[in-house]
Structure 1
């Protein structure tokens, strides 16, 4: 059942980009449980509809909607942000879960086509969502922009050059957004916050079922990630803004 409380997410309007995967599904469920109106997007319309339906079913009375949005199109992303704020009267969060991974056996075997793909998935989508939602998040009294990143961005390995570089660039862009929020707040401090949640990798039940003997050491379960995402609204904006919040030991 949906909670009925007065927590920091009660009545909030939160957009989730890349919502159709396991992490997205867990996040939709947790945000809906906390009392938020959840506006989900993904490029895969069928999987998005399943994720939205699951969150609605699990939390009767929760408002969970889905939009198929091309986040590689800045204008389309702005239209999504504007539509969300117009329809619900506010926008209190953007959770960026768009992912993707490519790697190689060694540094010299890196395929630069992987970089071209990851630059779009992991950097361009962050640029577009942050630019599109910036103003709306500033208008909120609890605006949060949350990027999910990987420990490899700070400690890249030879075969993960393209992935780690993409994640590092996305982190830098998000920290620049945090600085914009800081400057906008002036002496009173930021009203909105941009933060980075860092994991080694994510794991979910289907992965465990496929590899029952695997340890998944240091991995973060998607339900734990969803809990951490919701928990950022418990922190004052000044405390959360510009922070890397580690869900795995620092490398």
Structure 2
């Protein structure tokens, strides 16, 4: 059992190799969780895992290359985690991607084909794969990171916003399942959505020192908000959008 707010918890992070994933691995490890990251880029994932191990002061942090576009591979990953650690208390979904254009009429539907896979299909697979394990946990949480554009789409972001909105609807349906399963006692597990305008990290600031990044959420603040989903009761967070930027 680790110390900290998440001592003893076992949390999986999908899309762990990107800047948000890296910050989240570090934060969860510092909070005492056993963290299992997945990414489709082995080199990037190994770097993120090493950084989190170093920061986590002895926390167990592992990484695995998983094809989240394949449901059976995703289910096998979830099963391996529960078999190895005896439980799974969370799935943080950070698989991202963006394509967009200048205006609505110029929308390229090839962007939708890509974003539907990255932003919707991976959510479907991780939620279905981890659902039963999260229900078996006494603090199961499914955390989707979404964008304000899902609520207020802009003309050039039709494909991106529609994919994010679909992922949100899917996650809220999962939350309704948790609510119904809990009955009068309230949900034991929770599915929640963290909403950002966009994310920013140190390398972006270094590349564009004069940019304001107004309304953006730093990946470290996102990671803190992810950890915070476990500090609230399932009833407080289940089926809710938790806004980390101004609500449109």
Q: Which residue does 1:56 correspond to in 2?
A: 53
Q: Distance in 2 between matches of 1:106 and 1:224?
A: 31
SS in 1 for 2:104: coil
Q: Which residue does 1:4 correspond to in 2?
A: 3
Q: Which residue does 1:231 correspond to in 2?
A: 228
Query: Could you report, residue by residue, the CA deviation over 1:194-237 in whole angstroms, capped at 9, with x for unpaired residues?
Result: 00000000000000000000000000000000000000101000
Q: Which of 92, 96, 101 is 1:99 aligned to?
A: 96
Q: Which of 149, 161, 165 is 2:146 aligned to?
A: 149
Q: Distance in 2 between matches of 1:112 and 1:4?
A: 48
Q: Distance in 1 between matches of 2:150 and 2:43?
A: 31
- 1:202-241 to structure 2, matched below 5 A, reads 202-241=199-238
Q: Are 2:128 and 1:134 equivalent residues in the alignment?
A: no
Q: Are 2:32 and 1:35 equivalent residues in the alignment?
A: yes
Unaligned 5+ segments in structure 1 are none
Q: Distance in 2 between matches of 1:16 and 1:229?
A: 11
Q: Distance in 2 between matches of 1:50 and 1:205?
A: 16
Q: Distance in 1 between matches of 2:160 and 2:146?
A: 11
Q: Which of 238, 242, 245 is 1:245 aligned to?
A: 242
TM-score by length of 2: 0.99
Q: Which residue does 1:86 correspond to in 2?
A: 83
Q: Distance in 1 between matches of 2:130 and 2:184?
A: 23
Q: Which residue does 1:168 correspond to in 2?
A: 165
Q: Distance in 2 between matches of 1:123 and 1:177?
A: 14
Q: Distance in 2 between matches of 1:246 and 1:138?
A: 25
Return structure 1 stretches of 4+ with deviation > 4 angstroms.
none
Could you tell me how far 1:61 is from its partner in structure 2? 1.0
SS in 1 for 2:187: coil
Could you tell me how far 1:133 is from its partner in structure 2? 0.2
Q: Distance in 1 between matches of 2:181 and 2:42?
A: 36
Quote the RMSD (CA, aligned, Å): 0.7
Q: Distance in 2 between matches of 1:47 and 1:220?
A: 22
| Residue pair 2:9, 2:89 contacting (<8 A) in 1 also | yes
Unaligned 5+ segments in structure 2 are none
| Residue pair 2:30, 2:57 contacting (<8 A) in 1 also | no
Could you tell me how far 1:169 is from its partner in structure 2? 0.2
Q: Which residue does 2:117 correspond to in 1?
A: 120
Q: Which residue does 2:175 correspond to in 1?
A: 178
Q: Are 2:41 and 1:44 equivalent residues in the alignment?
A: yes
Q: Distance in 2 between matches of 1:216 and 1:158?
A: 20
TM-score by length of 1: 0.97
Q: Distance in 2 between matches of 1:104 and 1:137?
A: 38
Provide the aligned length of Structure 1 versus Structure 2.
247
Could you tell me how far 1:4 is from its partner in structure 2? 3.0
Q: Which residue does 2:23 correspond to in 1?
A: 26
SS in 2 for 1:39: strand
